[in-house]
Structures are given as C-alpha cells and as structure tokens.
C-alpha cells in the first residue's frame, strides 16, 4: 500500500471504477497478464494454490493498495488469485494504460520499488512466524494486524491463511473465546477485548 496521499491520488486517476461483491474473483493465478487494479474501498484477499492443490492466503489488502502491477510490468501471468473478501470498489486498468501512466509519472517507479520492499519484508516476517509460532499465537498476530474489530472470514480461510488445519483454527478460536477475548459465529470473528488479546503476544 502506498501511504503518500498525493501518490495515491495519482493512482486514483488510472482506469475505470468498478464495484465487486464478496466472493468475486478479479483474476486467477496463472491467468494471462492484461489487467491490474487500485483498491478504493473494501478488502481483497491474495491467495495461491500449490502444486498439491493446497490454497494459501498470503494477505488481505486494504484501500490504497495497488495490485497486478508486476504482471503489467513484466508481461508474465498473474502470480496469485485476487478474491473479494468484502464488497469492494476498485479502479481496473489495462497493461497498456498502466505503462502509459508510468511514462507520464516516472516518479511512481520509486514508489513501486518501495512497495515491493514492504511486501518482501512482510512475507519474510510471516514465513518466520509460520515456521516458529504455535497456531494460537499466529492467529492472534493476524487478528491484531487487522483494521476492524469484526472480521468476515471462515475457519477454512483462516486455516489457509495461517498454514494450518481447520481443526487447529477451531481449537485456537475456542480457547480465545473461553477467555472472553472474542466472539465467533458462522463466517465471522469479533474482537471484544483488543487489549487483552494484544497482551497475549507479550507472553
């Protein structure tokens, strides 16, 4: 995500505004290059499917995120699937429009490089966490990183996100629920004690 307001406004000039409903797919992994998107509102999920057919959710993107730019730059197929997690609005652009936009705003290349560095650092930290932390701690980390106290997500999606099993996620959520740190229901998690939840990460 690009944090500079002026830069975000420049990206917001690109492409055409389009609305998406929860569950829709913007594009799929290995789909031919051709489009990218700038997220105006809502939440999008980035996921990949392994050679064994396992689905792994890498991250959830918030408004201000630019995606599909790698494919637009190198002409290679999309490296991941983009799924709409909540009702969203995005500006959709073609590869030709994207590269023309960069020609008119060359300073944006530096912003793109900074964003790639941020993504690399995030993924490096996530790999370390997934490889060394127990499931409940991974779950708490993820919840605390989100911007909303109410999260629309299934146990199956959480399991893919945390690189674990649905049963392990259900057990971890149950333990946090017993501690009265959150509420859960079909397809949602609601944080009721954010401070208490965050304190678990200090242990």
- Whether the per-residue pLDDT at 6 is higher than 70: the answer is no
**What pLDDT is recorded for position 109?**
81
Mean pLDDT within 2-13? 60
- For the domain made up of 134-202, the CATH class stated in words is mainly alpha
Q: What is the dihedral of CA 91, 5, 80, 95, to 10 degrees?
A: 50
**What share of residues in the chain are helix, strand, coil (percent, to 5)?**
45, 25, 30
Residue 52: predicted pLDDT: 59
- The answer, yes or no, to whether residue 19 has pLDDT greater than 90, is yes
Tokens of 58: 């890498």
For residue 23, what is the enclosing H or E element?
A: none
Tell me: the pLDDT tens digits for 143-175?
Answer: 888 878 898 888 888 887 787 888 999 999 999
User: For the chain, where are the alpha helices, taking DSSP H only?
Assistant: 5-11, 69-74, 95-104, 108-132, 135-145, 155-162, 166-178, 194-199
How far is Cα 67 from Cα 38, in angstroms, rounded to an integer?
A: 6
Mean pLDDT is lowest, of 27-31, 119-123, 132-136, for 119-123
Name 23's Cβ contacts closer than 8 Å, sequence gap at least 6: 83, 84
Q: Where are the chain's structural domains? A: 5-128, 134-202
- Contact criterion met (CB below 8 Å) for 56 and 50: yes
The per-residue pLDDT for range 76-86, each reduced to its tens digit, is 999 889 999 89
Global pTM?
Answer: 0.59
Domain spanning 5-128, CATH architecture: Sandwich (2.60)
Kindly state the tokens that stand for 157.
Answer: 């999606």
Answer yes or no: is pLDDT of 179 > 90. yes
More confident residue, 61 or 90: 90
- For 87-106, how does the pLDDT look when each residue is reduced to its tens digit (9 = 90+)? 999 999 999 999 998 888 88
């Amino acid at each position: 995500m690009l944090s500079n307001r002026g830069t975000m406004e420049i990206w917001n000039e690109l492409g055409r505004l389009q609305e998406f409903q929860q569950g829709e797919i913007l594009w799929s992994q290995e789909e031919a290059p051709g489009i990218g998107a700038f997220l105006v509102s809502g939440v999008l999920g980035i996921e990949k499917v392994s050679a064994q057919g396992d689905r792994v959710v890498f991250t959830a993107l918030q408004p201000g995120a630019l995606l599909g730019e790698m494919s637009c730059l190198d002409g290679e197929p999309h490296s991941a699937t983009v799924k709409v997690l909540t009702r969203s609005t995005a500006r959709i652009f073609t590869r030709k429009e994207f590269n023309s936009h960069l020609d008119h705003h060359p300073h944006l290349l530096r912003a793109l490089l900074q964003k790639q560095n941020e993504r690399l650092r995030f993924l490096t930290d996530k790999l370390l966490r997934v490889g060394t932390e127990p499931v409940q701690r991974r779950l708490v980390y993820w919840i605390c990183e989100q911007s909303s106290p109410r999260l629309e997500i299934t146990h199956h999606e959480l399991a893919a996100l945390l690189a674990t099993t649905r049963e392990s996620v259900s057990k971890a959520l149950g333990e946090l629920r017993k501690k009265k740190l959150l509420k859960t229901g079909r397809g949602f998690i609601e944080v009721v004690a954010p401070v208490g939840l965050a304190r678990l990460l200090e242990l």
